[in-house]
Structure 1
């Protein structure tokens, strides 16, 4: 029997919970905002949820950089695209992210690359990517380079709609938030990989997306 979407999302939210700490002494003045903040604060907990039978491919192509959850670091992304790495929390609970204001798939958007918790390690390994359509930059988001607009996702993105989600996952919603999740079988080391996708739709059009992957015992 598969693990429920609620358990998978709860596990990801637990590991990511330090993204929203209030201890200013252990970070800068910028808090995580926008769509990822809504997700990690529990604002999507009661949304329509589905399990998906197959994991999405763990590869994002952003211009010349291949981005892989659990392997690519925020420092590598910063070296390629610039920006300022923000940080909140301390020790094992530290959370770091980069945010850019860019045109994704022809839409003015904010784009976050997030590394958080013990699953990310001291190297600030990427474990979450989120984007939302917005004409203005969120707090702490830098102007991204034009090269960052050329990205290829393993799942439907901001250019897509309700029908694309139905074709990819077999179900969707027309308005509001929908979540998809997958849990892979434990590997030879007893590690389990959890994936989660969260979409926000407005009249059938995707205007917010978040996808994440964590590996845990």
Structure 2
């Protein structure tokens, strides 16, 4: 695994990462997920440089960002189903998959902020979604099945919020890490269930986020 594998924007964004990361192939199981893990670490560091609030306040905002992205995913799915007869169909399956990638990225950014390991979470997710991508029924799921996956992600995000409200300490941080890992796994599984390769969708999101960061170097602007 070398630095040359990364998109240029992400390579610049992650310039301050430790040298060992560029030579350790075990940091993530695929080149795309290495790119995502590197971008997450770069994003978290960039946010920290431009935010002088106490660590607990920064973490709280990142948990709220996860809640925001979860709501946007649900909104995209409702638009894809045409549930609202006044609006009709306003989104596609790929839009839902990209929103799930945003959920994943937000969860990973919050995860590293409380001492979690983004690459480890992505590895767990890959092991989970592999059987979905390899299955004959990938991409041919019912609306009820998508509903179930999105309800799981929404539940996971709610549990992250509940864990954050506990008194700060090692127990709270470990609960946060566990629930954020669940968000990553279930969101990636949702992308796979919709018939898309999470490697590709997540990598695309990492590049978009890196471009936004580099276009606003003086302060955070990720919405």
* Fold equivalence (TM over 0.5): no
Whose relative contact order is higher, 1 or 2, with alpha carbons under 8 Å and at least 6 apart?
A: 2
TM-score grouping bracket, smaller chain normalisation: under 0.3
- TM-score, with length taken from structure 2: 0.25
Larger radius of gyration: 2
Which has more helix, going by share of residues? 2
Which has more strand, going by share of residues? 1
- TM-score, with length taken from structure 1: 0.26
